[in-house]
Structure 1
Amino acid sequence: MDAGSLNPFSKLRGRSRCPFQEQILQRINSKENLDRFIPNRSAMDYDYAHYMLTEGRKMKENQTVFSPTRDAYRMQLAEALNMNRTRILAFKNKPPTPVELFPSDHTSSVHPAKTLKPRRHIPQSSERTLDAPDLMDDFYLNLMDWGSSNVLAIALGNTVYLWDASDSSTSELVTIDDDNGPVTSVSWAPDGRHIAIGLNNSEVQLWDSASNRQLRTLRGCHRSRVGSMAWNSHILTTGGMDGMIVNNDVRIRSHVVKTYRGHRQEVCGLKWSASGQQLASGGNDNLVHIWDMSKASSNSPTQWIHRLEDHTSAVKALAWCPFQSNLLASGGGGGDRTIKFWNTHTGACLNSVDTGSQVCALLWNKNERELLSSHGFTQNQLILWKYPSMVKMAEIMGHTSRVLHMAQSPDGCTVASAAGDETLRFWNVFGVPEVAKPAPKVHQEPFSHLNRIR
């Protein structure tokens, strides 16, 4: 067989070859052809190969004659001459020592490996349980808040009680008469000393918790009960059953400074963003509105920047993300059962998760990327979610009725929940932060004028 017969393109001689054919011919005739096993002469030891083909064969054949001295000599000779090899032919050089781009655990002396964070234990039972008699079983109200001074306020019927977490003491702040009550919402001011109390008769009272003294009453904001409130520095924003949202400047006598109109039914959720620039509102009309502080006008009702209509039931649960300023979580009622995440700059819905139960309240973990939700029908549970995967980390049972309210301690570790079963429970669900952050100093000047206004 001639050499030309090995060439698959031999029949094309005399014709011009295309570049593709030339490339294939070069690879066939190249020494780098990967399909042919060509010994690498530079990688072979010819002296060792000759020895193994002659003397080595004799040594193996004579191994039947036992001699301890001779065997010991052969072992030392084999080690000295590296004769313990088994292969004679070599097809490639010894591969280079691999370079570790990512050091493993055994290189910790040079680059210490990061230790894995131990998995946090999530208690399935409450740390403490308190009785909460006469707690109104009303989905649309906001009857509990935990202030920056580590005091929890809860409204039971016509009375507002204060529970001091530092010494577990309980005191009564005020009892509203039947003509004006019951209490329909409570909200601590940023200073942790002053507290706003919304009433069934459409009024809002401002109290100094340190002296147990009423400072003033805000009237003319609404035509019916005030079920939701949120502070933004010296501005107290109130939401009523009349669908109105009102900004009240508590430093001045004519306290109504801005009005937001957009909801057709009761406003049951209000939350200001951490920057104080955006306000989120949820209502019994299944709507979520995003309002911009800079676009607010005192002369005419303010227009929302986003009207979010994806929920199919009342929206009370609202929570701004602490690590992403334009991320808002909202929860729908019994006919919706979803938690939705919104980009409040664009108004886009980023994700929607069906929880299977009425969503009553939402809280972000201040120290980890986690979200806690409380639920009503049908499980009455708390669920801890990992964000953004929304994988369930824990499902916490304990309440026997819908968990209407949640509040978070100032350090972000403990969560208080209040339910229709008339119990108040405390959960160490968020754990202890790795580094304790100093509490921010609160500027109390915005409330200095309250004592002189009646």
Structure 2
Amino acid sequence: MAHFVFENDINSILKLDTPITNAPLARWQRKAKEGTCSSANTSVNTSVLSPMKASNRSHSSSKTPSKTPGKSQGKSQVTPSRAGGDRFIPNRSAMQMDVASFLLSKENEPADQSPTKKEQQKAWSVNLNGFDVEDAKILRMGGKLLNAPEGYQNNLKVLYSQKTTPGSSKKPGRYIPSMPDRVLDAPDIRNDYYLNLIDWSSQNLLAVALNDSVYLWNYVSGDIVLLLQMENLEEYVSSVSWIKEGNYLAVGTSNSELQLWDVQQQKRLRNMVSHSSRVSALSWNNHILSSGCRTGHIHHHDVRVAQHHVATLSGHSQEVCGLKWSPDGRYLASGANDNLVNIWPSTQGDSGEFSPVQTFTQHLGAVKAVSWCPWQSNVLATGGGTNDRHIRIWNVCSGTCLNSVDTHSQVCSILWSTNHKELISGHGFAQNQLVLWKYPTMARVTELKGHTARVLNLAMSPDGSMVASAAADETLRLWKCFEVDPVIKKEKDKARSSKSIIHQSIR
């Protein structure tokens, strides 16, 4: 009997440790219950834990740390773990779990699937996710790169694209040698800004005026011939110009004479006198030779007749130093020391006199550099002297200035390229360089340096690939700055040969 009484007492004592049924839950139990509920609501992937383990982990994690986090007290800092566990399990929705399971099973399948099965899987993916899983992949182990969908505008989100231009397809820039191809001595060349002392013929002969003499240099053979020498040592040659065919050379002198020479016979054909001062600029238009002198007058000479002086143009008050006929022969451009540029017609007006159709007054210095565009007959380039330093591009029909650029140095000469949409200019103070310009933007392509004194004149080879520069440092330098692409050259040669064959068959 006493034994049963003892057991009852023991059971009564043990019941004191059991939780009170109707009493409110403890704080740590409420925390554990809230963590368990939130975890159950937000994740279907959490493992089911026993109540004892969950309560113990919740109880241990809900304790307030005895030490303030962040303060070092000789022991490693302990960060309290989050309620519900000691490791982080990311939240994943049921849809994401299905997609992940599908992708895992798909990757483990063999690569060689029938087209029907692939289409079926694509249809499943679209119905399940609303998009094709293959299109959603960013990284792949094989296959082609993904393209942006058609009409996609946000370029920042395009990670891969096959439409980028490969570097090898970019057209390489033209190589322009920075050093001259040849350097020739030009002793006693006159350092005079207003004179025109070199010209290159269509027969590849370069005429150079050195003080009182004119020399011919054959570019092909390298031969040098003394064509003429002034009888009076005080006189000098002030200008030279080749006719288009390259068999006659016009020579202007300081004693106001204009001579015409046959270079094959090395013989002077005639001596034409009409000016009263030195002839500093010359230009041919078929059989008409135009000359400009120090007084500012321009004379037209018909070299076929005895009375060669056929017209006088009076539009400048100072020395004419730039003179050039347009390629089509319609206009004559003249620049002078009075800072003016005049455009003259080839025919007389109703009054029987020549008057300029355009007069440009924007230059602030002497205008010696005058050059017509070879592919646009109404476009003219002019350059000013030390007080101006500008290159200006004109439309002579409308009289408008198409472009203007400050070269920061004296402009002595301008030439247009026949092979490229570019032009080259020769400069004086202070760098004495040649500058290539891109047309029509007038952006600098490159600079050619080597002369130690100002560049006086420029002349172009008959094929348009080389430019000769004469400078006050008594040298001539030949620059290969406009060489033609070999492919384009072949095509041009083929076109010329086919034209000659057609011409021969017609004859």
Coarse TM-score class (shorter-chain normalised): 0.7 to 0.9
Deviation larger for 341-350 or 277-286:
341-350
* 1:351 CA displacement: 1.3
Show structure 2 runs of 5+ residues with no match.
1-93, 136-147, 152-160, 497-507
1:397 counterpart = 2:436:
no
Superposition map of 1:23-422 within 5 A: 60=101, 81-82=120-121, 85=125, 88=128, 90=130, 98=150, 116-178=170-232, 181-219=235-273, 221-295=274-348, 301-422=353-474
d(CA) in 2 for partners of 1:207 and 1:164? 17
SS at match of 1:205: strand
d(CA) in 2 for partners of 1:182 and 1:226? 11
Contact 1:363/1:373 (<8 A) preserved = yes
Larger radius of gyration: 2
Superposition map of 1:417-436 within 5 A: 417-433=469-485, 434-435=488-489
* Higher RCO (CA-CA < 8 Å; seq separation 6+): 1
Q: Deviations over 1:344-381 (max 9, x none)?
A: 00111111100000000001110111010000011100
Task: Report the CA distance shift for 1:338/1:105 in structure 2 as closer, same or farther (over 3 A).
Answer: farther
Kindly provide the amino acid, as one letter, of the partner of residue 437 in structure 2: W
Paired-residue identity, %: 46
Kindly provide the amino acid, as one letter, of the partner of residue 435 in structure 2: I
d(CA) in 2 for partners of 1:156 and 1:174? 11
The aligned length equals 370
* 1:166 CA displacement: 1.3
* 1:59 CA displacement: 11
Task: Report the CA distance shift for 1:261/1:285 in structure 2 as closer, same or farther (over 3 A).
Answer: same
Q: Deviations over 1:174-227 (max 9, x none)?
A: 1012267200000011110110100000001100000110100001x2110000
d(CA) in 2 for partners of 1:259 and 1:180? 28
Contact 1:190/1:231 (<8 A) preserved = yes
d(CA) in 2 for partners of 1:335 and 1:231? 30
d(CA) in 1 for partners of 2:447 and 2:342? 30
* 1:295 CA displacement: 3.2
Task: Report the CA distance shift for 1:253/1:59 in structure 2 as closer, same or farther (over 3 A).
Answer: closer
Q: Deviations over 1:315-352 (max 9, x none)?
A: 00011001111100000000000000100001111111
* 1:405 CA displacement: 0.5
d(CA) in 2 for partners of 1:257 and 1:269? 21
Task: Report the CA distance shift for 1:260/1:156 in structure 2 as closer, same or farther (over 3 A).
Answer: same
Task: Give the TM-score normalised by the residue count of structure 2.
Answer: 0.67
* 1:432 CA displacement: 2.2
Which residue number in structure 2 is paired with residue 27 of structure 1? none
d(CA) in 2 for partners of 1:324 and 1:76? 65
Kindly provide the amino acid, as one letter, of the partner of residue 244 in structure 1: H
Kindly provide the amino acid, as one letter, of the partner of residue 128 in structure 2: I
* 1:431 CA displacement: 1.4
Contact 1:261/1:301 (<8 A) preserved = no
RMSD, matched Cα: 3.6
SS at match of 1:388: coil
Which residue number in structure 2 is paired with residue 49 of structure 1? none
* 1:87 CA displacement: 6.5
Kindly provide the amino acid, as one letter, of the partner of residue 271 in structure 1: K
d(CA) in 1 for partners of 2:472 and 2:250? 23
Task: Give the TM-score normalised by the residue count of structure 1.
Answer: 0.74
Contact 1:406/1:415 (<8 A) preserved = yes
d(CA) in 1 for partners of 2:415 and 2:397? 21
SS at match of 2:401: strand
SS at match of 1:88: helix
SS at match of 1:82: helix
Q: Deviations over 1:234-269 (max 9, x none)?
A: 000000001100100000000011111000000000
SS at match of 1:160: strand
Task: Report the CA distance shift for 1:274/1:296 in structure 2 as closer, same or farther (over 3 A).
Answer: farther
d(CA) in 1 for partners of 2:374 and 2:109? 75
Task: Report the CA distance shift for 1:88/1:394 in structure 2 as closer, same or farther (over 3 A).
Answer: same
Q: Deviations over 1:128-177 (max 9, x none)?
A: 00100000000000000001111000000100000011111111101012
Q: Which has the higher helix share?
A: 2
SS at match of 1:435: helix
* 1:115 CA displacement: 5.7
Deviation larger for 414-423 or 341-350:
341-350
SS at match of 2:265: coil
Contact 1:126/1:428 (<8 A) preserved = yes
* 1:90 CA displacement: 3.2
SS at match of 1:85: helix
Show structure 1 runs of 5+ residues with no match.
1-52, 109-113, 441-454
